[in-house]
């Protein structure tokens, strides 16, 4: 059985390609920085070997198995700030050296369309990675995609945010640039069907959908699909910085990602390097059909992955790496407990698992929104990220301005870690426990580890608000 090494296995594309590879009866080594952040379905778990490795760490990379037949390189750092290109090159160098030690016959890399002369830093970095990987002894197949449309994709969510929230848009001139959007299912098809194609070895292919559209046309088509009337006007004076702020405040993107996106949008993303159809014939999905498919997945609560779930800062990675338990010393706490009927345990648990996003925080939801707006104003993530699913939570999920670091429904325990801008660190924990008398209680604990005097002042200034917000939230959770 063919052995495949899949890097970025808990990323947006990685999570979707994994079950497809298993269905094709491959053995897969799934490489992740933290095994706690990936949930492998039981029915395919026997064909997946989870490997913990940070590709920036040469020792970790050197310890990866060499008896592989094929490798996927699905790693990028575009949301990681100004030094992301250095990070990407270092990772690519490490991976190239690793490939040279393996018996692999092919490496597949998903890159970005980069046919213009004056490229953005993001696209230049993609080209640098392509060049590094191409120096390997292992033949490399490079697929360059335009923006990807699918439930949970960054492009889809940004278009959705802009179109659904703004009846009238005064937009930058880059919305008149051209793009060839591609459905995520077509990307997965190309990535999995290109395996072992002799014509694809040491080749580069542009992949896109059947239509070439401007970003403005894409938003207007989205509005038509959602039966919305939208008016978009362009202005030539909006600087890249203003454009970045425009995207950051209106959509759920982070500011570093907004900067890199705006920088890239100056380039047309239209397929020029042909040949993919000779290797992998495909009846391509139209833009409108890609939108329909995305909303079907959302309505069916079947969003397999989200771009937000892969965006972890070093701070969050450190939390995942060894601090699932909430610290006890040097912390300030708001602890609450309320009894529930034994027959309503599952109902209350489902309510806890549905908190945030469109469901809200059950009490004084306007206060949570204001806190999110303040967070956005100071460069934080805000609450626009929402949640991947209205009823399901998994470790690593983004949940408004929290990150799920423990979601154990069997043990009836959920822990959230705050990603908002704070003078310290914050956790919010929910659990349901049975005491020795057979009575059930819901525990709701907010924990804050302050950073200096400013952290303590911050906490104590919010004690009156916490009294109402946390108290009211628990009562609403228990009230079924």
Q: List the single range of 7-21, 23-37, 307-321, 332-346 with lowest mean pLDDT.
A: 307-321
**What average pLDDT does range 24-36 have in this prediction?**
88
337 forms beta bridges with 443
* pLDDT higher than 50, residue 110: yes
Residue 339 phi, psi (nearest 5): -75, 145
Give the pairing type, strands 413-418 and 402-408. antiparallel
CB of 423 within 8 A of CB of 448?
no
What is the helix (H) or strand (E) element at residue 477, kind and residue range? helix 463-478
Q: What percent of the chain lies above the pLDDT cut of 70? A: 90
Residue 45 phi, psi (nearest 5): -60, -35
Angle between helices 184-193 and 287-299 (to 10 degrees): 100
Please count the helices (runs of H) and the strands (runs of E) in the chain.
Answer: 16, 19
For residue 383, what pLDDT is reported? 79
For residue 132, what pLDDT is reported? 95
Token pair belonging to 119: 């490229």
Taking the model in full, what pTM does it have? Answer: 0.77
Give the pairing type, strands 182-183 and 148-149. parallel
Between CA 333 and CA 374 the distance in angstroms is 22
Between CA 50 and CA 41 the distance in angstroms is 13
CB of 272 within 8 A of CB of 178?
no
109 forms beta bridges with 73, 142
Token pair belonging to 120: 């953005």
pLDDT band at 267; cut points 50, 70, 90:
confident
CB of 157 within 8 A of CB of 257?
no
CB of 162 within 8 A of CB of 129?
no
For residue 320, what pLDDT is reported? 45
Query: DSSP label at 112?
Result: E
pLDDT band at 321; cut points 50, 70, 90:
very low
* pLDDT higher than 60, residue 323: no
The Cα-based distances of 178 to 64, 131, 181, 216, 385 in angstroms read 41, 26, 10, 9, 27
DSSP string for 245-305: HHHHHHSS--HHHHHHHHHHHTS-B---S--HHHHS---PPPHHHHHHHHHHHHHTT----
Closest C-alpha to 413, from 320, 357, 345: 345
Give the pairing type, strands 213-214 and 178-179. antiparallel
With a CB cutoff of 8 Å and minimum separation 6, the contacts of 45 are none
Q: In what order do the strands lie in the sheet with 70-73?
A: 48-52, 27-32, 3-7, 70-73, 106-112, 140-145, 203-207
For residue 322, what pLDDT is reported? 43
**What average pLDDT does range 386-414 have in this prediction?**
89
Q: What is the maximum alpha-carbon separation in the chain?
A: 73
Residue, of 435 and 385, whose pLDDT is higher: 435
For residue range 271-286, list pLDDT tens digits in order: 999 999 999 999 999 9
For residue range 353-364, list pLDDT tens digits in order: 999 998 999 999
For residue range 158-179, list pLDDT tens digits in order: 888 888 888 888 888 878 889 9
For residue 238, what pLDDT is reported? 65
């Amino acid at each position: 059985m063919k052995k495949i090494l899949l890097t970025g296995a808990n990323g947006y594309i990685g999570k979707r390609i994994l079950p497809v590879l298993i269905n094709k009866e491959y053995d897969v080594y799934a490489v992740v920085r933290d095994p706690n952040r990936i949930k492998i379905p039981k029915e395919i778990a026997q064909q997946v070997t989870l490997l913990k490795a940070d590709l920036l760490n040469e020792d970790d990379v050197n310890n990866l198995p060499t008896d592989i037949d094929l490798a996927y390189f699905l790693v990028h750092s575009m949301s990681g700030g100004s030094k992301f290109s250095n990070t990407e090159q270092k990772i690519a160098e490490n991976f190239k050296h690793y490939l040279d030690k393996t018996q692999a016959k092919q490496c597949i890399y998903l890159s970005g369309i980069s046919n213009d002369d004056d490229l953005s830093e993001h696209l230049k970095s993609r080209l640098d990675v392509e060049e590094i990987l191409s120096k390997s002894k292992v033949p490399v197949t490079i697929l360059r995609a335009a923006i990807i449309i699918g439930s949970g994709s960054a492009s889809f969510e940004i278009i959705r945010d802009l179109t659904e929230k703004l009846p009238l848009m005064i937009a930058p001139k880059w919305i008149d640039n051209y793009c060839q959007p591609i459905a995520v299912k077509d990307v997965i098809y190309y990535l999995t069907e290109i395996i072992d194609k002799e014509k694809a070895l040491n080749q580069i292919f542009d992949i896109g959908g059947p239509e070439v559209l401007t970003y403005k046309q894409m938003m207007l088509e989205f509005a038509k699909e959602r039966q919305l009337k939208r008016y978009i006007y362009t202005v030539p004076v909006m600087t890249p910085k203003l454009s970045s702020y425009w995207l950051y405040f209106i959509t759920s993107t982070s500011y570093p990602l907004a900067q890199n996106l705006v920088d890239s949008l100056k380039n047309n993303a239209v397929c020029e390097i042909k040949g993919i159809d000779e290797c992998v014939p495909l009846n391509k999905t139209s833009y409108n059909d890609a939108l329909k498919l995305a909303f079907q997945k959302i309505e069916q609560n079947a969003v397999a992955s989200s771009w937000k779930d892969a965006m972890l800062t070093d701070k969050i990675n450190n939390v995942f790496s060894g601090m699932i338990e909430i610290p006890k010393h040097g912390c300030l706490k708001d602890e609450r407990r309320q009894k529930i009927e034994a027959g309503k345990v599952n109902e209350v648990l489902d309510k806890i698992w549905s908190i945030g996003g469109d469901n809200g925080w059950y009490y004084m939801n306007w206060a949570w929104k204001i806190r999110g707006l303040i967070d956005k104003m100071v460069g934080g993530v805000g609450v626009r990220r929402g949640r991947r699913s209205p009823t399901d939570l998994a470790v690593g999920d983004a949940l408004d301005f929290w990150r799920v670091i423990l979601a154990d429904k069997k043990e009836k325990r959920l822990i959230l870690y705050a990603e908002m801008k704070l003078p310290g660190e914050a956790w919010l924990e929910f659990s349901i426990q049975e005491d020795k008398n057979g009575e059930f209680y819901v525990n709701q604990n907010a924990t804050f580890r302050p950073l200096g005097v400013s952290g303590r002042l911050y906490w104590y200034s919010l004690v009156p608000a916490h009294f109402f917000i946390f108290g009211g939230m628990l009562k609403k959770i228990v009230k079924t």
